[in-house]
Amino acid sequence: MKLDKQNWKKVEFGQVINHIEINERDPDKRLNAKYVSVEHLTTLDLRIKGVAAEEQPTFSRTFKKGQVLFAKRRAYQKKVAVATFDGICSPHIWALETNGDLLQELLPFIMQRDDFYEYVNANSAGTMSTYLKWPALSLYKLKIPPKVDQEKILSIFHNLEDLINKTEEQEKVFRRLTKKLVDDFVSDFHFGNLLIDRNSFEFKWIECVEKIDRNIDPVLEGIKYRIGGENIESSDYKIRSLGSVENDYTGPAFVKKVIPNDILYVSRNPHLRKVAFSEIIGVCANTTFVIRSKEDILSQYLLKHIMLSESFSQYAMSKARGSTNPYINWKDLNDFTFKLPDLETQKEMAEILDDCISNAEIAREQSIALKKLKHKLLDEIFE
């Protein structure tokens, strides 16, 4: 798409956008209102992810469907969303509306630009919990095209947003399918038609799973990667980030060597369901269990899925002790009981589950690529 930028108009943010300050005090209207906080907005995602379960007494600012919600507290988090319903929001959120020179639907895309957040970060006040004031934001300068060009640009970004949403939904479908297959198997020994007429053998955890203790000094052994609890995501056995033994703090607790195909389980806060399948050599803390199956009984590749099942998670949570930072000991898992088919069938099951996860990962990568394309285009069009 070719755009003649010679007739684009340079304006200040406050000239084309208003922040709406209308408060709702009527108790009857507040009773059934939908309340949105900063926590309900997600970084670089234009959707509102939920509403508060009850009335929020400190919230009074109203917003209308179609308005743009912008988190002015900790604005560096890049939380912008488009309201799809009327409601009441946190005092740390602005409800924004264009005055007609700029299409309302184009505003949230402009507010996702890197240049916008460079300005926002430079003009936020405070240290621990930075905040942005309207007089500062109103002076942000941007170029806006004529309406005919705005319509063309908006069409591009609407199409991209639709593609992103579809790929994200594809990922969710495959992950939901994987979870259902695993949950049905562990709780009911059911896995589609695969387990019909197959023999089942009941085992306790202690009979088919081992905790591996390879105690090392990671520096002396030349270990590169440090795997902390923050590197293991909830309900996702893929390790998506790694620490560095050389550059990150690696305290005395990091003594457990990890090798490929090890399963890691964070024993603190078992409700977080932090299970990981390692593809690298690294070191983890002694509060993370390094786990191997007894492979004459249980496939290691199936075990990683079993450990993300609802049955396993609920069992682990039932054994947790402590209130502030609950934990389990290794022996607490000894009596977790489940049924297994023969090893050949386990292999088939693991392959099916891994294929589902592979398809989810493909959709995830497509979504990431589309988001990068969107931001590249935003920067190029509005440079």
Domains and CATH numbers, the chain: 8-145 (3.90.220.20), 201-340 (3.90.220.20)
Low-confidence spans in the chain with pLDDT less than 70: 1
Please give the sequence-ordered ranges of beta strands (E in DSSP) within 6-83, or none if there are none. Answer: 9-12, 17-19, 35-36, 41-42, 45-48, 61-63, 68-71, 80-82
In this prediction, residue 128 carries a pLDDT of 79
In this prediction, residue 1 carries a pLDDT of 63
H-helix segments, the chain: 13-16, 27-31, 107-110, 114-122, 134-137, 147-188, 205-208, 300-306, 310-319, 343-381
In this prediction, residue 346 carries a pLDDT of 97
Joined together, the tokens standing for residue 128 give: 């621990």
Which residues, at least 6 apart from 10, have a Cβ–Cβ distance to it below 8 Å? Answer: 141, 142, 143
pLDDT in tens, 272-300: 999 999 999 999 999 999 999 999 999 99
In this prediction, residue 116 carries a pLDDT of 95
pTM of the model: 0.86
Q: How far apart are CA 337 and CA 335, in angstroms?
A: 6
Residue type present at position 331: K
Which residues, at least 6 apart from 150, have a Cβ–Cβ distance to it below 8 Å? Answer: 102, 103, 106, 144
Q: Is residue 67 within 8 Å of 86, Cβ to Cβ?
A: no
Report the candidate in 318, 316, 266 with the shortest Cα–Cα distance to residue 291: 266
Q: Is residue 132 within 8 Å of 120, Cβ to Cβ?
A: yes
Q: Is residue 48 within 8 Å of 88, Cβ to Cβ?
A: no
